[in-house]
Structure formats: structure tokens, C-alpha cells
Amino acid sequence: MTLEVKVAFLPPLFMFVLSLGSESHTLSERFRSPAIRVVSNETTKKAPDVAAEVGRYEDVAKRIIELAVFGAAQNRSYRRLADFTDTIGNRVSGSQNLEMAIKYMYNAMKQDGLDVHLEPVKIPHWVRGKESAEMIKPRTKSLAMLGLGSSVGTPPEGVEAEVLVVQSFEELKRRASEATGRIVVFNQPFTNYPETVAYRGFGASEAAKVGAVATLIRSVTPFSINSPHTGWQIYEEGVKRIPTACITVEDAELMWRLAQNKQKIVVRLIMGAQTLPDADSFNTVAEIRGWQHPEQVVLLSGHLDSWDVGQGAMDDGGGAMISWEALSLIKDLGLRPRRTLRAVLWTGEEQGGVGGQQYFNLHKENISNFDLVMESDLGTFTPMGLQFLGSDAARKVMEEVIKLLAPINVTKLETDAEGTDIFLWMQAGVPGASLHVADSRYFWFHHSEGDTMTVQDPHDMDLCSALWAVVAYVVADLEDMLPRRP
């Protein structure tokens, strides 16, 4: 990655994103040398034994799929999500809406007959306030914008300055002498999320190092209809903090063309953003206790918080709802696995996975009892497969488990699971899984006003719920935990 930063202070979100963008230090490699050594006390079974044991769950898997996709639970996860998002709206960290959302889900899952509790955490509380951006030279034009999370505000009268447009960090360094006193506009092309999000994450500090007074970042999206996309950003220690916001692809490209034509560009930016003291919040936890090994856990999850735009239906209301739905399906069928099934609806994920990090710190002393950690946070579109990170022996087990999804044509087991909130567990050697969906449209709506229920499809959510429930239940009910590295 081209950005030169110290990563010691980065939260799990940015450590996770950096891991995705690094070819030389992949999470798979770190899994083979985990930061916290986890010793397996399980005996690895031979392949025929594994296939036979998992194969015995074929009828159970069909029952789960039938209930979720064609039976009484058809469209239920969609209806739950619609009621939740229409009632609560978006749910940014520290907001009253997020606390309403936690209470809503706590009560809903209690009424569903699950064992529910809340685990307190502290989360960031940033508010954007009133904000606007306007190009005033070479012509007047309002710029659609969204302040970036954790940004400082401007003075009440705003910041008015000439613009320097660059397309990369390298170009900024080459033109450092031109940046003093200017608003730097980053017009970086979208390549992939891990690479491109670095500009949103670190652009303000990189520009401040060369004397800029503010930054406007081209939204991290491959498609735009003049839609700004917000997100979290991090100030580097020891570097002046300057206001930073995202603008649309269209406006970033407009200013790039004007700059190429040697036209002077002046922008006025007004941001009322401020960071308040950390707020009290909760991770919301629902369980079906295991009948034989209740202390051992298969964890499935999504995050309950969102940004303060749209409804947070896709990111990540859908992931939270299918995690609840998976437990509902299992409960409705009267099933109870050997191990505990635990759905965790994370708080503060968008601010760097702070709820997930505090959960890890609280429970890592019992890490040997965590069998599998699962997270859905890339949408609940049509499921394509399951991403998995674990030992070779565990992979052989999961290859058999995923075959049980043949009735819905989702039998592909992929590599390198993803998830900000489960990253630390996987880094420590716990097997991890994430849902792979047809996500080509995900970043069209990501962190924007477009993230609403209109993006969601009831049938897709049924399929995702079925996959989530089958995998979680079968792994939790196998005779042995998934084998780990010796």
C-alpha cells in the first residue's frame, strides 16, 4: 500500500482493511502463526468419517431450508428488517437512535423466546452538525457532501480556500509546495475497496502534513448518481487535525477537469462536526444454549449500528437480522445443538470495530471454547458461497458442511473470511466464516442515503438466513469442535 503510516494505533477496522490490501501479509499467513496461540484438544477425523458424520445432517438441513425459503418463515427476516429500519431509522454510534435500536432488538429477541442479554461497552460519539460545501470559483455550484466520521469542524464562518486537485498520495507529495493554505481534493479512481478507502481513512493527515487547511475526498464507490458516501477516518498522531469530508464522484471529476484546464478553483467548506465524550452502549447477545457443551460457542453476527444517512438496511441491518433469524429457525424446529449458538449484534462497528474489540477483550480468556466465529457485513444479496479461514483439517469439515446447501445451490467454500468484528478472533487462530453474496452493487449504496430497504430482496434474505442457520447449527452440533493448528 502506498500510504506510509504507523499502524500501531489503528483500530481493528483499518488493521483489517490493510490486511486485505497486503499481498505479503495476508490473514491466512497470520492464521498459520496466530498472535494468541490456541491449542486444539480435538482429534482430527479421517475424511470418510467427516463426510459420514456431516452427511447425517442432510435431512435437518433440508428442514431448515424448507422453513426459511418456502415455509412459515418465508420473508420473515425481510419483514423484521423493514419494521426495524422503518421504526428506528439510521443508528450512528453514540446516538439516541442506536440506543433505541438496541432496546428494540433486545425486546424483539426476548419475545422470540431466545436467551438475551446486553454487554456494556464504550463507543465514540461524533456528530456532524450542519455542513455545506460550495464551489465559488470559477462558477458557483453547490457540492453534495458528507463530513467524515471523527472529523473536526471548521470555524463558524467556514474555510474558504483555493483548491489543489490530486489523484494519488504520490501526486500530493510531488506537489507538496502547492498545498500550503489550500483545500486538497483527492480525485482517486476506485480500484477496489481496500486500496481506495485509504484516501478516506488517511487523506486528511497526509494533506495536513503539507500544509493543507481541509480535504475533500472523492467518495469510495464505483458508481454514483451524485451521491456522497461517508465513513470513518483517522487522524495520525502528532499531525494537525483539519476538516475532511467526502464529495461525489461527479464533483471530484469536475474539479479535476477544471484544474487540468488551469482554472482557479475556490471552495467554501462549513462543518459543524464535533466529537463528544464516549457514550455508553451495548453489544446485544442472544443464545440457544448447548445441551452437552454449553460453554463452547459458535458465534454468528452482524452489526447493529450504521452511519447517520439512509436506513442502514444493507450495512448492516441485513447481517444482524439473518443472525437473529438463524436462531429463530433453529428454535422453531425444536432443534438444540451440542454447543451454544450465540448471535452477537455488534455496536460501534463503523467507528473501527470498537464493540467487537471490547467483546474480544472481555471473552478472550475463554478463546479455546470458541468453535467458529461468523460475520455477515457485505450485504444480504443472493448468496454465492461461504468464505472460511481455518486449518486444513477444519476446511475439510467445512467442505462437507457447505454441501448441505445443495438444495439452494450454494456449495462453494472460499478462502479468507472477512469481518471487522471477528478479525481479532481469526487473527488469534479461531476458525472464521463470512457470507459471500453477489455484492457487485454493495458499494453503490455503502454509507450513503441510498442504503435503504429498497436495496433488499426478501427471497435473497431467506436464502442467506438458511445458509447462516444450516452452517451454524451443524458446526455447533458436530461431535468435535473444528480442529485447529497443533
DSSP line for 86-126: HHH----TTSHHHHHHHHHHHHHHHHTT-EEEEEEEEEEEE
- Integer Cα distance of 346 and 95 in angstroms: 15
Question: What is the DSSP code (8-state) at residue 394?
Answer: H
- Range list for CATH 3.50.30.30 in the chain: 129-272
- Integer Cα distance of 32 and 45 in angstroms: 20
- DSSP string for 296-311: EEEEEEEE----SSS-
pTM of the model: 0.92
* Full pLDDT tens readout for the chain, 486 residues: 233 333 333 455 555 454 444 333 344 433 333 333 344 444 566 777 999 999 999 999 999 999 999 999 999 999 999 999 999 999 999 999 999 999 999 999 999 999 999 999 999 999 999 999 999 999 999 999 999 999 999 999 999 999 999 999 999 999 999 999 999 999 999 999 999 999 999 999 999 999 999 999 999 999 999 999 999 999 999 999 999 999 999 999 999 999 999 999 999 999 999 999 999 999 999 999 999 999 999 999 999 999 999 999 999 999 999 999 999 999 999 999 999 999 999 999 999 999 999 999 999 999 999 999 999 999 999 999 999 999 999 999 999 999 999 999 999 999 999 999 999 999 999 999 999 999 999 999 999 999 999 999 999 999 999 999 999 999 999 999 999 977
- Integer Cα distance of 311 and 91 in angstroms: 8
In the three-class reduction of DSSP (H, G, I as helix; E, B as strand; rest coil), residue 385 is classed as strand
- pLDDT at position 12 is 52
- DSSP string for 421-471: TTHHHHHTT--EEEEEE--TTHHHHTTSTT-SGGG--HHHHHHHHHHHHHH
Work out the number of other CB atoms within 10 angstroms of the CB of residue 250.
16
What are the phi and psi torsion angles at 375 (to 5°)? Answer: -145, 135
What are the phi and psi torsion angles at 282 (to 5°)? Answer: -145, 145
Residues 6+ apart with CB under 8 A from 309: 90, 146, 230, 447, 448, 449, 451
Bridge partners for 159 per DSSP: 269
Residues 6+ apart with CB under 8 A from 94: 123, 124, 125, 126, 127, 276, 278, 279, 281
In CATH, 47-125+277-477 is 1.20.58.220:
no
Contacts by 392-395, CB closer than 8 A, 24 or more apart: 393/44, 393/483, 394/431, 394/482, 394/483, 394/484
Question: What is the DSSP code (8-state) at residue 415?
Answer: E
- pLDDT at position 11 is 54
- Integer Cα distance of 186 and 406 in angstroms: 46
- Integer Cα distance of 112 and 321 in angstroms: 13
- Catalytic residue ranges: 349
Cis check for the bond before 439: say yes or no (omega within 30 of 0). no
The class (CATH top level) of 129-272 is alpha beta
Radius of gyration of the chain (CA): 23
Please say whether the beta carbons of 433 and 402 come within 8 A: no
**Sheet (strand 274-288) strand order:** 115-127, 274-288, 339-346, 293-303, 370-375, 432-437, 383-389, 413-415
- Range list for CATH 3.40.630.10 in the chain: 47-125+277-477
- Integer Cα distance of 311 and 316 in angstroms: 10
Query: Between β-strands 293-303 and 383-389, what pairing exists: parallel, antiparallel or unpaired?
Result: unpaired
Element (H, E) at 271: strand 266-271
Integer angstrom CA distances of residue 414 from 52, 117, 220, 301, 387: 22, 33, 26, 19, 4
Please say whether the beta carbons of 2 and 168 come within 8 A: yes
Element (H, E) at 52: helix 47-55
Integer angstrom CA distances of residue 349 from 227, 419, 469: 23, 10, 23
Closest CA to 360 of 165, 348, 251: 348
Residues 6+ apart with CB under 8 A from 120: 280, 281, 282
Work out the number of other CB atoms within 10 angstroms of the CB of residue 119.
16
- pLDDT at position 343 is 98
CB-neighbour burial class of residue 301 (10 A; exposed 0-12, middle 13-18, buried 19+): buried
